[in-house]
Structure 1
């Protein structure tokens, strides 16, 4: 593991590397952390789950031994991890790494995490358990359209913002309104303090050619199967978790679970998983073009490493 600290980059508090799934951003982070004695910090909402190392493409054990990785595999699949919780966790990590004078390199595919990092999150209230359970129970019996009608009656401001096809956020808005009598829109309008202002960071998006990216996604899923993804799914199935939990909706999980239960063939599960991953990558790129247009865009991990090394002031690998 790289142990060097104090690499002398006072103008940059952290390096941020975003990009779609399978783009090579993790490889770029690993190389940069090795060169500069840095630490890699997870910014992916699925790689936090302990039970899903293979299917979420978490760093392998050799990579974790080479460089310190933080916030990977720290949460049970039985939990609902949120952007607010990640922001609190990453704040603690950044404070610790600053004290150790190590360069944090945040990488992942969850654009909302990076947006929250730069803009902060408005404070929202704790929801009493009975209110939360009541609305989640209702969500199991009502259609998304019916839930949206409920929101229209109670909180029309949020109803205008949320489509009928987003029941999870509709339920959240209903919970907040019932618990506080105040629209979630009003809570979100409160000024928030950014954890890492853009001017303190080096920001990159790794965006390969679309055809190349899709081919990599397909090859990586095949490699996941060879590494034991089905065994990982069998262990997950034994936990008997709700299919509504975030970890149970990770790409490949629903399809492979269906294959294990005999609902679909293995071949159909594989092809559907690859298709869903490619569509997700497309959405990630669309999101990045909208919210990360002012980041430095590169087409490969090698370009990301070259650009960041020049900015950080050292192009040669650190001496072990």
Structure 2
């Protein structure tokens, strides 16, 4: 009996493979290797790769990858949508229930740690945020900036402020919204997690963590290749939508830098250099998060791997 046959039995024996790691670490290559061996379906677990316009900028799988294995939850969200972890779980339930892939292992790969946590543990019970509260804090963010709102959060909810970096405006606004709407700290509510979608499945977990110099070298190569792949045209198409700059899609690394090129405010060389720096910093934050947040049941692997070693 082949491995694929073993993995494609009935639902009670459903398998999931979780592949986490920083950007440019080789997660997609590992996911494709496992999918080819198991007959699995690759599912996106990256909060930026959900947006339909940003294929090049977010290094979404290309046509050749999609031909090798089915992919789900990539590029399916309009960039005008403020997508959330809750929405991702709702969309994921549709993937799990899809009869076309019933019984096949799902291979989750991406760099968004909160997606993996929600997948296994569920979401905390967050309150509904009244429109007036949401709009008020978003306006304050636009007018005053994240550092000023972080000071407000620190005065009102020190625990939440300690967990959120001052530049992270989206999470700061969310914490203030939740506090005003419920009277409770977002950290308290986050501790009351629900149930994960794959809690009864057989799960294999891999943390792809190459040497940092290898990650940085891959980032350099990726950014250099984006120009020939058409990243300026992609950013121009996004800008033509005239979207709210506070939307998550508009904050993707490279949007600001390549927008400056399109506006004549920056040379391409400078834009690529700044985008590389921003991406390296992002990778460093991801590495820190994964090392501190993922448990001993995650197997650490480097950039070199042999297919026979997995599932």
Q: What is the TM-score normalised by the length of structure 2?
A: 0.89
Is it true that 1:37 corresponds to 2:36 in the alignment?
Answer: no
Aligned to 2:90: 88
Aligned to 1:317: none
Query: Quick one: structure 1 residues 55 and 146, their matched pair in 2 at CA, closer, same or farther if it must change by over 3 Å?
Result: closer
Query: Quick one: structure 1 residues 48 and 163, their matched pair in 2 at CA, closer, same or farther if it must change by over 3 Å?
Result: closer
Deviations 1:241-283 (A, max 9, x none): 1222111111211101111111211110011111111221122
Note the 1:1-320 alignment, pairs <5 A.
7-8=7-8, 13-96=15-98, 100-152=102-154, 154-197=156-199, 200-294=202-296, 295-300=298-303, 302-303=305-306, 305-308=307-310, 311=311
Tell me the secondary structure at the aligned position of residue 182 of structure 1.
Answer: coil
Give the stretch that moved more between structures: 196-205 or 230-239.
Answer: 196-205
Unaligned residue ranges in structure 1 (runs of 5+): 312-320
Tell me the secondary structure at the aligned position of residue 108 of structure 2.
Answer: strand
Give the stretch that moved more between structures: 94-103 or 223-232.
Answer: 94-103
Any conservation in 1 of the 2:125–2:189 contact (CA below 8 Å)?
Answer: yes
Deviations 1:35-69 (A, max 9, x none): 21111000001100000011111111222233211
How far residue 206 of structure 1 moved from its aligned partner, in angstroms, is 1.5
Give the stretch that moved more between structures: 156-165 or 57-66.
Answer: 156-165
| Runs (4+) off by over 4 Å | 8-12, 152-157
Query: Quick one: structure 1 residues 99 and 209, their matched pair in 2 at CA, closer, same or farther if it must change by over 3 Å?
Result: closer
State the Cα RMSD in Å: 2.4
Distance 2:29 2:156 in 1: 47
Distance 1:163 1:218 in 2: 26
Give the stretch that moved more between structures: 61-70 or 189-198.
Answer: 189-198
Deviations 1:164-203 (A, max 9, x none): 4333222212222322333333322324212234983100
Any conservation in 2 of the 1:5–1:100 contact (CA below 8 Å)?
Answer: no
Q: What is the TM-score normalised by the length of structure 1?
A: 0.87
Any conservation in 1 of the 2:44–2:74 contact (CA below 8 Å)?
Answer: yes
Any conservation in 1 of the 2:19–2:110 contact (CA below 8 Å)?
Answer: yes
Give the stretch that moved more between structures: 189-198 or 201-210.
Answer: 189-198
Distance 1:245 1:166 in 2: 13
How far residue 32 of structure 1 moved from its aligned partner, in angstroms, is 1.6
Any conservation in 2 of the 1:221–1:274 contact (CA below 8 Å)?
Answer: yes
How far residue 155 of structure 1 moved from its aligned partner, in angstroms, is 4.2
Any conservation in 2 of the 1:46–1:247 contact (CA below 8 Å)?
Answer: yes
Unaligned residue ranges in structure 2 (runs of 5+): none
Give the stretch that moved more between structures: 163-172 or 255-264.
Answer: 163-172
How far residue 97 of structure 1 moved from its aligned partner, in angstroms, is 6.4
Any conservation in 1 of the 2:7–2:15 contact (CA below 8 Å)?
Answer: no
Distance 2:63 2:260 in 1: 29
Query: Quick one: structure 1 residues 292 and 242, their matched pair in 2 at CA, closer, same or farther if it must change by over 3 Å?
Result: same
Deviations 1:206-252 (A, max 9, x none): 12222222111111111121111111111111111122211111121
Any conservation in 2 of the 1:23–1:213 contact (CA below 8 Å)?
Answer: yes
